[in-house]
Structure 1
Amino acid sequence: MLRNYFKITLRNLWRNPLYSGLNVVGLTLGLTCGLLITAYVLDELNYDRFHTNADQIVLLQQFEESGMSGGQLATDFKERFAQVEQVVRLKQAAPLLTTPSLSSYEENFFFADSTAFDVFTLPLVQGNPKTALAERYGVVLSETMAQKYFPRQNPLGQTLRYDNKHTLRVTGVMRDLPGNSHHKIHFLANYANANELLGWDVTTNLWAGSTWTYLLLAPGASLQTLAAQFPAYLKSLNDPNVGVWKLNLIPLTDLYLRTSLIAPNRLMYVTIFSVVALLIMAMAAFNYVNLATAIATKRAREVGIRKVLGSTSGQLWSQFFGETVLFVGIALVLTALVVPLVLPAFNELANKSLNLSTLFTSVRMAGLLLGLTVLCFLAGGYPAFVLSSFRPAAVLKGSLAGLLGGTRTPLLRQALLRQALVVGQFAVSIVMIVATLVVSSQLRYVQTKNLGYQREQVLVLNLHDASVEAKLRFKQEVQKLSGVVSATQSYSVPGSGSLRGEKLVADYAPKGVTDLTINRQSIDENFLETFGIKLIQGRNLDADRPADRKVFLVNEAAMKYFGWDNIEGKMTGYYTFEYDPSGGYREVPQRGQVVGVVADYHQKNLKNTIPPMIFSLLDGWENQVSVKLEAGNVPASMEQVERLWKQTFPATPFDYEFLDDFFQRTYRADRQAGQVFGLFAVLAVLISSLGLFGLGTFAAERRTKEIGVRKVMGASLTSILTLLSVDFLRLVVISLLIATPIAWYAMSRWLQDFAYKTDIQWWIFVVAGVLAVGIALLTVSYQSLKAALMNPVKSLRSE
């Protein structure tokens, strides 16, 4: 019997190649999209879950919008709180690492406690995890870095020069971390040695250690219980700075998905792409249902004869459902061939390193099989029911009215179902088109918005740990180059998001304000000119005036924050700290007159409002030198700057980046998500069009005689095309009406994440509607035109 079913299925495929091809292509596209999105979503959901203790690890957050804390906190928490089983600190650096044959800055260099191997899962392929970080000047390399610095050599025992000042010995080689790790760790050095190598205190500092502090909680420990002890702990410190702390515990598994400390909006994108995957798979299934029920009447006689010969409805249902399983099986084989071909391009588009082998765990394979089973029932259950329910007497008499029960009601229900599915498919497609257009519009708005500074032709150089004198000398020399408009030294650059968080002197706090945090930017007198930032009141800072070491500029946001209309007689200030021999410290206010007001500019991205900022002259910590180059002569000017760099810092690689690159990197995640979403929007439209093409073909075939009669009676080509197309276009218009409010609501929610955003313009919905109608018209017009041009004599002879 199974063999007979299989033969009948193959004959049916051969007899209806167009519908069979459309079904297979639609299901293949659906499965391909589903697998790619599933791999993407699983990679996002499994961020940091490769650590064995992932569910017990939390990040200790000291300040809002920062994942870093003082190094002393880890020691305190390990000693004071029984719920904390172990602690580990990671301090990121960007040293210059050198071997006799290679010199390179490494941004993924971390100082770590030796407990890193107890808290995190960091398997060593060489070396002993118990001793690898015990050696004072020891360093552990990733496999990639071992190959980079010591190709075709045993890296153990080899040495690296750190900033041309210290020598580190390789004590271990660590397996490369998966791509879904929130830290991309390439080097681990002994945290106890960080003070010496960095040149400042990161181990006993309570408030400025810039350290990532992780706690391994004891089994059963409660975050709420631990957090409830924070007020008493803060009080016991008797530290004047705790007023600006915001101690918080973030589970490791939430760090990437549910905070913006690593990347913004990740959970939202995971949700969106999961829904998109389900919708695209459903659209592929709907295509199958539409085409299978549409051609059901073609197989009516087959069903009638087989029922007369004794076949039961259950047997017929099994056969027709088996056909669906065969279609899905063929599509699955094609998907297995297509996905490896398109995966590299998808990885590049999504900035991922996805590997489909990660899907093939026992749990995920079970989920995949369950999903395919659901797809088979969704796509094949109803068509099998329709075909197996035909009444043999009515079929053999040629009566369509009696196929399913003596009236046309069941056939009408089938037609309404097909129409509803077409409406649903195009509604989804229109929503995705609108979403793609809105994302593109917002990103275009970001690109073209006046940010309050000029970012074109600005070269940003990182002087790292060069001396204060060397930095100043280099800036002065680079300003003399012929291709340089101006140069400035500053703590950070506009658009980078980096600012110094200071504590405002309490005397200057606005009434009712309890959070005394204020942002400070340290600059030189050329900062405003180099970045094209306007001075709207008062004067600029002047390095030649000794008194200007104790004066400030403020931005417009600070004027509103302080409630000032002008700066006449206004003062402000922040606290620095003075250490005493016992290891304690006291606050030292830095007070000064406000001498100028700077126009607001976006130091951070457009997802953040412009914060109140104060500006002061350089104090020695500034590593960034930004060079404004003449337009039209950038390559030659770059060569001049590079020559000067090599003369000034001959042992240091030329480390630069254009300011535009900072800007582009800020919105990279949103841009990539928009590109991925746009890709799947195109595929959703394609799947919908395949189904519409099949239905248009079937409709034209069903009405062949009617078209012939109309042509004999004098109907024009236009009227026939309108007759065949108008029903489908009506469905697309209904889809547009349904999709418009859904798309508007969804994209309004997405735009809420931006403090500065474009409006959702009416033309976006017009474009989406025109695209949908145009695609539908093109899809059905081919078969409609073919039917309209057919010889009416042939049409009237057709069965």
Structure 2
Amino acid sequence: MDRILEWYCAEYYLEEVQGDLHEWYAQSQENQTSFRNLRYLINIVRYFSFERSKTFQNIIQHPQYLSMKSIIKITFRNLRKDKISAFIRFANLVFGIGVFMLALIYADYELNYDRFHTNADNIYRMGQDTGGDRAWAAGPFGLGPFIQENIPDVKRVARFIPERNTWISHEDKKFYEQNVFYADSSVFNMLSYEMIQGNPKTALKDPSSIVITESMAKKYFGNEDPMGKRMQLLVDGDDASIVTGVIKDVPDQSHLQFDFLRSIYSYGDEEYQRSWRNYFVYTYFETIDNPDFDRIENLIKEEFFTQYNVSEERKEKFKTVLTPIHRIHLFTDQEKDVADHGNVYTIYILLSIGTFVLIISCINFVNITIIKGLDRSKEVGLRKTVGASRGSLVTQFLSENLVLLVLAGLGSLLLLILIEPAVQNFTGKQVSLNFIANPIIALVLLGIILGLELLSGLYPAILLSKFRPAEILNSSEKTSSRFSKVGFTRKTLVILQFSLSLILIIGSVVVSNQMNYLRTKHLGFEKDQILLLKLNYSLRQKVETLGEMINEIPGVSNHTISSSVPGYRIMMEGVRNLGDPERRYSRILIVDENFLNTYNMDISSGENFTPTRNETEFIINESMAALSFPDRDPIGQQLVWNDTGRVVGVVKDFNFQSLHTSIEPLTMVKFPGDSYGYLSIQFNPESVEKVLSGIGDISDELYPNLPDMEVEFLDSRFEELYQSENKLQVIIGVFCLMTIFLTISGVFGVASYNAHKKSKEIAVRKVLGASYPEMLWQLLQGFLYLLLIAICIGLPGAFILSKWWLRDFAYQTDIPVAMFVISAVAMVLIVLLTSGYISSKTARTNPATILKDE
């Protein structure tokens, strides 16, 4: 048992401890204590401590450990001496590091969309650019089989077709689902969706098969095994599918979000699946390593030219668009895309703002560190006088800096953990900010701390260690050139800080003004009192009865049915004048005679659709009239789209898309059939509760075996179109407030130092009769000069960045000069109020209090 003690116990403690234990053992032997050997062993084990163990004892007696221990003690002693300065530096770093890491983590999340696919670098989506404003994401059905059979550089192809609105049921469970897709059987061989049950090679080969996600399996089947079970899908009739596979839920970082995958072979016969008529299929393909892209593009183009008999003029405009799957989410803006995407410029803005905030916090940290270092200049002089080397002083300051950075880093980790639920709720994405669940956060933090240690700690440490004892200890040397250089560096950093703060303030105002402009601009139709019902196959069967019953609800003014509605994508197809072979691309909206009245649109010439007339009629907007009939009155002219019809009216241009884009040519046609996708209801705002209740009652009466119809407010849809800008407005507003806080804290620290440095001068001036305004001017003039320079830099920078951001909008708010003036004045007031408070206290201090030690 003694050997155990001698094995772990440090020699410094061994003799004393072992003597005490032996003495106790001898006494227990005399007293005939029972189990004394066992109790002796227990005492040896209980005595174990890391502080008394050999290994740790060697560490704590090492000179480097003792030096670090001393540095940490000195650091906390200095922090306790000036708690306000310590808090400012700590808070600046916590907010600066936290905001930058938040921006970096979110940017990394967005930039890694679809990177979970094993062969993401070799997977592309096929699109076409026919010479219009935007390329097309979707293509014809026959494109997939052609690529697979004729291009040797392609290993496999997978096609997707979205079926957004359908009811799905299993036994007594019925739900309205929007994430239903058709897909090829090759999808699981190409894309990395994890199969839990079923065979990925054969899961979608049978036309009646369906693959569901894990969450849908629990939703419909509970704890039952879903394999082989039947599910009813009401898409184009009552259609049954057999569950042949279950996959894990699609990762959030995927632009393809689905809950159900039906076999694409149930979507028409083989001849239809090789047709080249309709553009609604999304074609993905995986290439071999180092493929010949020129050959791929040329073969596809030639087939397009053959299938569509493309003229030589159009051949020059046609391009194939091969988009890597991992770039679809942020880097594409294509017609008829499968999902709403992010915007890479928003990511750049967030990263820029995060970097700005980090820079501002670092400037505050460096400024205050230099200022506090100058206050410790006598300490540096005395240390050098008693033999301290420059290297030891650099180590001292760097170590103190590192201790504060580590504490701030831990504080920023805690901050990220606290705000994670709010961030996830705000973004609608499962962005992990917990360093335990996301270890990369700890690595990023380590890199930031090391970077800040070099950038914000090395300069002050080297600068302060250069001071000579004679310069520091001789008061006549306080104005030496070395101190002047410190002042120049500090002033430069303050100017940079003020400039960045002014840019963020103006940027916040510009974004807010633009968003208010988008919300208040009249779009050319009524969107505020419109309810939408999405019509699928089941609803379309009784759409006339549905409309009549809805019209009887108190508070309903009108209703209309249409293929699409403003705010949602309206299909684009070629329309030509009768007798003219040239087709002009136009948005096509299939409507009934109530559409214009329901949306309160203005007819500039002609008339509305005639309910009793059976011939095909067109109403076009002013942009289409200018495109197709630039030199004549369009009323009575004939257009060809699917059928030949007559233009009966021209409606004033209205913004049926978001204000990011200008108004495009639009052709509305009264066309019978089952092409209607929406029922729009105009209602009185006072009766909204009655209208919603009435729609629920009608749903129960007309469709007793289906879930209640889902309704949507049209103005809410238009809010969604600016979702990223709305979030950006909130983010910039929060960061702007944070920047103001950082600016105030920085000004507070620098003003405190200036007031302290000039306190004796102010006291002498006061004794000699200087007035309060004169003393205040002496303290504030330095800030005013720096602020004037910062305004001259910040205003042009803010204007350039504002114009760069606004370029994405076809309709832009003005950037008035008054906004720049008000922002600059606000910046001046922030600085003056902060520094003025400190300066005023110094100017009002009794001179005797300051000069009593002289």
Give me the TM-score of the superposition, normalised by structure 1: 0.92
State whether residues 208 and 240 of structure 2, in contact with CA within 8 Å, keep that contact through their aligned partners in structure 1. Answer: yes
Aligned twin of 2:20: none
CA contact (8 A) 2:157 2:186 kept: yes
| Cα deviations by residue, 1:490-542 (Å, 9 ceiling, x for unpaired) | 1111222x2222222365669xxx66322211111110110011011011111
Looking at structure 2, the residues matched to 394 and 554 of structure 1 have their Cα atoms a distance apart, in angstroms, of 84
**Matching residue within 454, 477, 482 for 1:410:** 482
Q: Distance in 2 between matches of 1:358 and 1:169?
A: 42
Quick check: 604-613 or 364-373, which moved more? 364-373
Residue 762 of structure 2 aligns to a residue whose secondary structure is: helix
Whole-Å separation in 2 of the counterparts to 1:485 and 1:711: 78
Alpha-carbon deviations, 1:215-241, whole Å to 9, x = none? 111111133331133332223335579
Query: Hey, what's the Cα distance between the residues in 2 that align with 1:528 and 1:343?
Result: 46
Residue in 1 that maps onto 2:761: 706
Task: State the AA in 2 paired with 1:53.
Answer: N
Q: Show the counterpart of 2:574.
A: 503
Q: Deviations over 1:288-321 (max 9, x none)?
A: 2101111222111111111111111111111111
Alignment correspondent of 1:600: 653
Supply the AA of the counterpart residue of 1:188.
L
**Partner SS, residue 635 of structure 1:** helix
Partner of 1:160: 231
Matched residue type, 1:125: I
Separation in 1, partners of 2:710, 2:604: 34
How far 1:263 moved relative to its partner?
Answer: 4.5
Please say if residues 495 and 663 of structure 1, whose CA atoms lie closer than 8 Å, have aligned partners that are also in contact: yes
Deviates more, 1:762-771 or 1:366-375: 366-375
2:463 to 386, 390, 394: 386
How far apart, in 1, do the equivalents of 2:477 and 2:226 lie? 80
Question: Shift of residue 683 of structure 1?
Answer: 1.9
How do 1:274-673 and structure 2 match up within 5 A? Answer: 274-356=351-433, 368-401=445-478, 408-466=480-538, 470-496=542-568, 498-505=569-576, 507=578, 516-547=584-615, 550-564=616-630, 567=633, 570-576=636-642, 590-620=643-673, 621-652=675-706, 653-673=708-728
Q: Give the alignment partner of residue 86 of structure 1, picking from 142, 156, 162.
A: 156
Residue 586 of structure 1 aligns with which residue?
Answer: none
Residue 231 of structure 1: aligned partner: 301
The alpha-carbon distance between structure 1 residues 626 and 78, as it changes in their structure 2 partners (threshold 3 A), is same
- How much has 1:569 moved relative to structure 2? 6.0
Query: Cα 1:220–1:184, aligned 2, differ >3 Å: closer, same or farther?
Result: same
Please state whether the residue corresponding to 2:586 is helix, strand or coil: strand
Letter in 1 for 2:256: H
CA distance in 1 between counterparts of 2:410 and 2:276 reads: 59
Q: For the Cα contact (< 8 Å) 1:502–1:517, is it kept in 2?
A: yes
C-alpha displacement of 1:382: 1.0
Shift of residue 390, structure 1, vs aligned partner: 1.2
Name the residue aligned to 1:582: none
SS in 2 for 1:39: helix
**Given residue 666 of structure 2, which amino acid in structure 1 is its aligned partner?**
M
SS of equivalent residue, structure 1 residue 486: strand
Contact 1:567/1:594, CA 8 A, preserved across alignment: no
Q: Distance in 1 between matches of 2:172 and 2:106?
A: 39
TM-score normalised to structure 2 length: 0.86
Q: In the alignment, does 2:177 pair up with 1:106? A: yes
Kept in 2, the 8 Å contact 1:92–1:110? The answer is yes
2:86 is aligned with 1:16: no
Does 1:181 pair with 2:251? no
Whole-angstrom distance in 1 between the partners of 2:463 and 2:305? 74
Q: Counterpart of 2:686 in 1: which secondary structure?
A: coil
For residues 612-641 of structure 1, what are the alpha-carbon distances to aligned partners after superposition, in whole Å with 9 as ceiling and x for unaligned? 111110332012110100131111122123
Aligned match for 1:204, one of 259, 263, 274: 274
Which moved further from structure 2: 603-612 or 648-657?
648-657
Please, what is the CA RMSD of the aligned residues?
2.5
Letter in 1 for 2:542: A
Between the aligned residues of both structures, percent identity stands at 29
8 Å CA contact 2:135–2:321 kept in 1: the answer is no
1:97-152 CA-to-partner distances (Å, cap 9, x unmatched) read 12344322211111111111111110123333223223432222222222322334
- Aligned residues of 1:509 and 1:562 also touching (Cα < 8 A): no
The answer to which of 237-246 and 559-568 deviates more is: 237-246
Q: Which amino acid in structure 2 is aligned with residue 609 of structure 1?
A: S
Equivalent-residue separation in structure 1 for 2:677 and 2:68 (angstroms): 76
Query: For residue 16 of structure 2, what is the aligned residue in structure 1?
Result: none
Q: Note the alpha carbon deviations across 1:21-64, whole angstroms, 9 max, x for none.
A: 21111111111011111111001110111111111111111464
Contact 1:27 1:284 (8 Å CA) reproduced: yes
Take 1:109 and 1:798, find their aligned partners in 2: how far apart are those partners? 83
The one-letter code sitting in structure 1 at the alignment partner of 2:195 is L
Question: CA separation in 2, counterparts of 1:368 and 1:118?
Answer: 38
Cα distance between partner residues in 2 of 1:409 and 1:297: 14
**Range moving further from structure 2, 59-68 or 531-540:** 59-68
AA of the residue aligned to 1:764 = M
- Per the TM alignment, residue 718 of structure 1 is displaced from its structure 2 partner at its CA by 4.0
Q: Alpha-carbon deviation of 1:361?
A: 7.3
1:48 equivalent in alignment to 2:102: no
Q: Can you give the 5+ residue segments of structure 1 that lack an aligned partner in the other structure?
A: 402-406, 577-589
The one-letter code of the counterpart of 1:90 is F
Larger Rg: 2
Gaps spanning 5+ residues in structure 2: where? 1-66
Q: Deviation digits for residues 456-481 of structure 1, max 9, x if unmatched?
A: 11111112113755212222332233
Question: 1:346: how far off?
Answer: 2.1
- Tell me whether 1:763 sits opposite 2:834 in the alignment: no
Partner of 1:778: 833
What is the CA distance between 1:432 and its match in structure 2? 1.3
